[in-house]
Amino acid sequence: MKLSLRELSAGYGGRPVLSGVNLSFREGEITAFIGPNGAGKSTILRTLSGMLPPVSGEVLLGDKSLSSLTRMELARQIALVLTERPVLRMMTGYELVSQGRYPYTGLLGVLESKDRRAVEEALKRTGAVYLADRQISAMSDGERQKLLLSRAICQEPEILVLDEPFLFLDIGRQLEFYSILKEFAEGGRTVLLSIHELGMASRLPDRLIAVGEGGIVADGTPGEVLDPERIRSLYHIRDEDYDKYMSRSEGQWFIT
């Protein structure tokens, strides 16, 4: 299902952080948001996933406004992986992932066989089967993140939204995580995420959107968006720092 934003203003307490946003996201694509801290990456992700009501304008899923959907309808369409990492006591990997079945289970949340199949399928997809019986509290950040992703996948959403999913992962886990997302998107679903690190942003996503100065600054392939001058002004990089530390080579950003 197609997600689009129409004349959207997003922010907190009626004060927009971003305004005049018109975007539509294609199925089967991974779109990443970049931008400096506080520019509104999380704000836009929270708004387009229905967690935060728009200040004005609309978020459309197909031809329906998000605000017209019930909580359960929304949860069956959009799943989230957030920056916050819950500290969980006495919970196994399987129990965490099975939480994703919330919009499908009955009154007491008891898993039926189709739910168990979905959980097992999601664990397989992320290569997290070996974590099913282990306690979350004894896991690494990468393992926990994998389970939170499995949880979102077994929610069977059309749209997967991830806020800074690579933040606590090393490069090996980042790439592993990304390839899972890629496979998920290739099944005809939409993946939206925010990225902090420009190295990742330059290589991985199909589409890159730069957020800053209260709106969308650039939108295109990573090659189009990651123009040195644009990055310089978007992140307010000081001239002396720019000359000293940053160079561009074959579409990748380095700290030299």
Partner 1 sequence: MKKGREGAVFLLLTALLLTAFLLSLGLGSVRIPVSEVLSVLSGGGGEEARSIILQIRMPRAVLAVLVGGALSVSGFMLQTFFANPIAGPYILGISSGARMAVAIVLILLARSLRLISSWLLIGAAFAGAMLATALVFLASSRVRGMAGLLVAGVMIGYIFSAVTEFLVTFASDQDIVNLHGWNQGSLSGADWSGVLAASAAVLAAGFFSFLLSKPMNAYLLGEAYAGSMGVNIRAFRIALVMLSSILSAVAAAFAGPVSFVGIAMPYLAGKSLGTLKPVLVIPASFLSGALFCVSCDLAARMVFAPTEVSISSVTAFFGAPVVLYILFHEKGRGRE
By CB under 8 A, name the binding residues for partner 1: 49, 51, 71-72, 74-75, 78-80, 82, 84, 86-92, 95-96, 99-100, 102-103, 105, 107-110, 155
Place of tokens 């006591």: 89
Residue number, 113 or 256, with CB nearest to partner 1: 113
Q: Provide φ and ψ at 166, rounded to 5°.
A: -95, 0
- Least separation in angstroms between residue 75's CB and partner 1 is 4
Residue number, 71 or 244, with CB nearest to partner 1: 71
Residue number, 130 or 245, with CB nearest to partner 1: 130
Residue number, 53 or 251, with CB nearest to partner 1: 53
- Least separation in angstroms between residue 80's CB and partner 1 is 4
Residue number, 163 or 207, with CB nearest to partner 1: 163
Residue number, 95 or 176, with CB nearest to partner 1: 95
- Least separation in angstroms between residue 50's CB and partner 1 is 8
- Least separation in angstroms between residue 117's CB and partner 1 is 18
- Least separation in angstroms between residue 92's CB and partner 1 is 8
**What is the SS3 string spanning the chain?**
CCEEEEEEEEEECCEEEEEEEEEEECCCCEEEEECCCCCCHHHHHHHHCCCCCCCEEEEEECCEEHHHCCHHHHHHHEEEECCCCCCCCCCEHHHHHHHHHCCCCCCCCCCCHHHHHHHHHHHHHCCCHHHCCCEHHHCCHHHHHHHHHHHHHCCCCCEEEECCCCCCCCHHHHHHHHHHHHHHHHCCCEEEEECCCHHHHHHCCCEEEEEECCEEEEEECHHHHCCHHHHHHHCCCCHHHHHHHEEEECCEEEEC
- Least separation in angstroms between residue 48's CB and partner 1 is 12
